[in-house]
Structures are given as structure tokens and as C-alpha cells.
Amino acid sequence: MGPPPPPKNSTGKVLGIIAAVAAVVVVGSAVFTAAFGGGGSGGGSGSGSSDASDAGPKDKVVIPQSVNGGKYRLDQDISEKADSQVPDQGANGDRVKTVGGQYSGGMKSVVLVGMYGTINDPQSTIDHTIRGMKDAGAEPGVAEAKITPTGAKEPLTCGVVVKTQAGHRIPVVFCVWADHSTSGNIARTDAAHLDADPESLDVTAFAAEAAKIRDEVRKPVG
């Protein structure tokens, strides 16, 4: 008998999974500028959106070298790729800049896609971002809900989607926020639990992480 076969290297599979999750997040984020329901042409929001556009965004989204207090380190800045796929103008956004990063910590990977510019309807942005993730091939896992973590001043909308990749059904926990200047989609996978039951993920605990990440990446313009 010959020697036992060497263990299979799972690095390629994990990288493929991360790339697939990143693609889902980027596509989801791209949907909001083409959203039909968020234009600033009606009611009182029209003049408010114009004023905001003239003044420019109050905040921007940055991609630091680490997030969540250093728990996740930056592996790849995907800002150029994300910005090329997200239109900078549409029914719900004007002069939008998109940034993104892939982070890792242990077996966990985090994908962040952030946008800043003039956002006419933040709630529509959240709704269409989540819809876009599902349209990009992610199945519903745990229905999204608004969560305001302890100490946070604003809620996030969080849930779980499931992405099938490399023979696995991968649960992806995510949180989305939006205001009139910024929007962000933060998603996390765990390579140690690729086929976990979506219901087993602690969405509330991840919302606390996402709120901390939001504070780290949302910065005043100038």
C-alpha cells in the first residue's frame, strides 16, 4: 500500500466562498441607485434631496486596516471593483461613491460594502439592498428585522441569507444601515460552520459587532 493521500487543502474553497459572498453583497448594494421607489421628485422630500445634493454628504465610509477593535484584519480592498459595479447616480442616489473591504479573523470572514453621497430615501436603500442580495442568488435564511444594539443610537436591519457555493449551503449573517449620507452592508461567514442551520446564528450578537464596525468606518467628510 502506498502512503495515505495528503489532506485536501481547503484554502481555495474558502477563498471561493468569500468571493461569492462578496459578489452577493456588492450586487445587493448596487440595487439601491436603480430603485424605482426612492426618487426625490415627490412631496417635501424633493427639495430636501436637492439641498442635500448641493451641500454634499455629511459623512463618508472608509476602509480601515482592521475593524471591530482589531478583531478582523483587512485582506483585500475591493473598493475599485465595487465602485465600478455600483452606479453613482440613480432614482435613490446622487454622486455615490462605493468602497469595500474583505476582512478575516480566525475562521470568520467579513465583507463590508459602504456607499456615501446623497441618499434620498434611506429605508428604500435598506429594502433594495436586501432584495438585491436575494436577487444575486442568496436564499432567505432568517427574516430581517431592525435591531438597535445596546449603546447604539441608530438601528441596523439584520438577518441571514444562504448562499450555495462549492457544494455547501453557507449561512451569511448580515446587517444593513442607511442614512441620507451613507449606507453600509456588513456580512459575515464562518468557514468552521459552512453548513450550519441559519437559525443557529446569533443575529443579535452580530448586530452589536456591526454597530461597532459602523462607528469605525463612518467618518465625517473633511
Please list, in sequence order, all residues whose beta carbon lies within 8 angstroms of the beta carbon of residue 2, skipping any fewer than 6 positions away: none
101: in domain: yes
Q: How far is CA 2 from CA 5, 6, 154, in A?
A: 9, 12, 61
pLDDT of 55 = 63
Q: Flag whether 5 is in a domain.
A: no
* Residue 95 within a domain: yes
Number of domain units in the chain = 1
Q: What is the pLDDT of residue 166?
A: 77
pTM comes to: 0.83
| 133 within domain boundaries | yes
- Segment 48-57, tens digit of pLDDT: 344 444 566 7
Which residue in 123, 141, 155, 156 sits closest to 24, CA to CA?
Answer: 141
CATH code for position 96: 3.40.1000
Of the chain, the end-to-end C-alpha distance in Å amounts to 68
Residue 216 located in a structural domain: yes
For 136-156, write each residue's pLDDT tens digit: 888 999 999 999 999 999 999
pLDDT by residue for the chain (222 residues), tens only, comes to 444 443 344 555 555 666 667 777 777 666 655 554 333 333 333 333 444 445 667 999 999 999 999 999 999 999 998 888 877 777 677 888 999 999 999 889 999 999 999 988 899 889 988 988 888 888 999 999 999 999 999 999 999 999 888 788 989 999 999 999 999 999 999 988 889 999 999 999 999 999 999 999 999 997
pLDDT of 134: 86
- Quote the pLDDT of residue 4: 45
With beta carbons less than 8 A apart as the criterion, state whether 53 and 94 touch. yes
Residue 1 lies in a domain: no
**Closest C-alpha among 104, 99, 106, 110 to residue 77:** 99
Domain holding 214, by residue range, is 12-40+73-220
Q: Is residue 54 included in any domain, yes or no?
A: no
